[in-house]
Amino acid sequence: MDDLVCVSVEIGSPVRVVVRNERGDDRTIVWFPRWRTNDGYSIKSPGEKARELLVPAKGEAAIVAQPPSAEAKQFECLIGDKP
């Protein structure tokens, strides 16, 4: 996945991660959010599931995730190509 580049990260509510597709064709990625408190405890959000995002060829798209609670201070995002 070295042809998918993280362009920017905006921390807040919501979190916004912009990724760029360096490939010459459109691709669909699958991403899964993980949230933690500042002391490392995992926070589950209702309806937590993997999501899909179309990233155009040589273009950019934004992953947008809303924190499930005020205690959610750390954000992790697992990203992969859709099989």
* CATH number, domain with residue 67: 2.60.40.3230
Residue 57 structure tokens:
């060829």
Q: What distance in Å separates the CA atoms of residue 82 and residue 25, rounded to the nearest whole number? A: 14
Domain count, the chain: 1
Domain housing 14: 4-81
pLDDT at residue number 2:
74
pLDDT at residue number 1:
66
Q: Rounded to two decimals, what is the model's pTM?
A: 0.84
Q: Which residues of the chain have pLDDT under 50?
A: none
